[in-house]
Amino acid sequence: MLCGAYDKLETTSLTLPEGVTVTRLPEPVDVENKLGRYTATYAQDGRTIDVERRLVLESTGGLCAPEDYAALRELGQAVGRDLRAQILY
């Protein structure tokens, strides 16, 4: 399995229609292990919701070793759970 250095930052800004009230934002995420880190933050300012997600893989080799699978899986699962998180209104 390929395993190299990677840094992906995704920012999203949502402007809600007048009258929409957010009741809950997703919890922030911060998962770090020997292969990298995944973070996600959610913030509201008035009608605007800002989301920032970042995945950093720090492996310098071209291939992940079999013993790296658990760490890579942990990061992948954190990303998957966060992508399924919902803003409730």
Question: Rounded to the nearest 5°, which phi and psi values hold at 46?
Answer: 65, -125
* pLDDT of res. 2: 64
* Higher pLDDT, residue 48 or 3: 48
Structure tokens at 57: 């893989």
CA distance 65 to 54: 23
* pLDDT of res. 60: 66
In CATH, what is the architecture of 6-83?
Sandwich (2.60)
CA distance 18 to 45: 13
Mean pLDDT score, 8-25: 96
Describe the strand order of the beta sheet including 36-45 as a list of residue ranges: 6-15, 48-57, 36-45, 29-33
* pLDDT of res. 9: 98
The reported pTM is 0.90
CA distance 78 to 73: 9
CA distance 51 to 71: 25
* pLDDT of res. 62: 74
Break the chain into its structural domains and give their ranges: 6-83
